[in-house]
Amino acid sequence: MLSVSLRKPAHFLGALALAALPLGLSPAAALAADQNDLSADLYMDHGDHRSHGDFSPLIKKVHDATEKYKNINVALYKEKGWAVATPCVSGPDHGAMGIHVVKGSRVADGYLDPTAPEALIYEPLPNGYFRLVGVEFIQLADDWAARYPNGGVPSVDGNLMNLVGFPNRYGLPAFYELHVWAWEDNPNGNFSDWNNRVTCEKQPEARRD
């Protein structure tokens, strides 16, 4: 199995300093990525793990808008601006968030669009595959306050975001975030941070050169 190391992500106003994730690709997948051919790559359609009657308005908007990103290569090789920002993030006690693929230009733009999340979240699977499980909306707190001094807590489609203070495990300044589990049911709640149905157990080991 080939090991392909992605470039390190752009820093969010110099704040994000997390290691890039080496993705394990099969030879066919690596060749396909190089040729911009998504017919054989690090993607398999593992289906929609949500109960289809359990769509809040925001979840449905996110679900519909991110359908194309079920194939991780669409973000990493077909569109500009996306980069792997974290390895698989596991919970302090249980559950996980997953691998975050972030579009840095959206993090500090002061704009929250249900159809344009700042981060896509993937669960690592065996054999180098990745499954889209949800998204995260992110805005830096100081930047938001500067743009909207009387705006209060930001929200996405009417859903208030959570404030993560500084210092934090991500090495970021204080920021607002909201997880939306649009592709995997979350027994803790559709907008909870940690999902017990997502695991980091299949996270590829970092390559040592």
- Bridge partners, residue 122, by sequence: 99, 132
Four-point Cα dihedral 101, 103, 106, 107, nearest 10: 50
Provide the whole-model pTM: 0.79
- The Cα-based distances of 87 to 52, 176, 205 in angstroms read 29, 20, 10
Q: How many residues comprise the chain?
A: 209
Q: How many other C-beta atoms are found inside a 10 Å radius of the C-beta of residue 109?
A: 15
Cβ atoms 96, 89 nearer than 8 A = yes
Give the tokens for residue 125.
């699977």
For the chain, what are the domain ranges? 8-21+49-180
pLDDT in 10s for each residue of the chain, 209 residues = 222 222 333 333 333 333 333 344 333 333 333 434 444 445 555 656 665 456 789 999 999 999 999 999 999 999 999 999 999 998 877 889 999 999 999 998 999 999 999 999 999 998 889 999 999 999 999 999 999 998 899 999 999 999 999 998 888 899 999 999 999 999 999 999 999 999 999 876 644 34
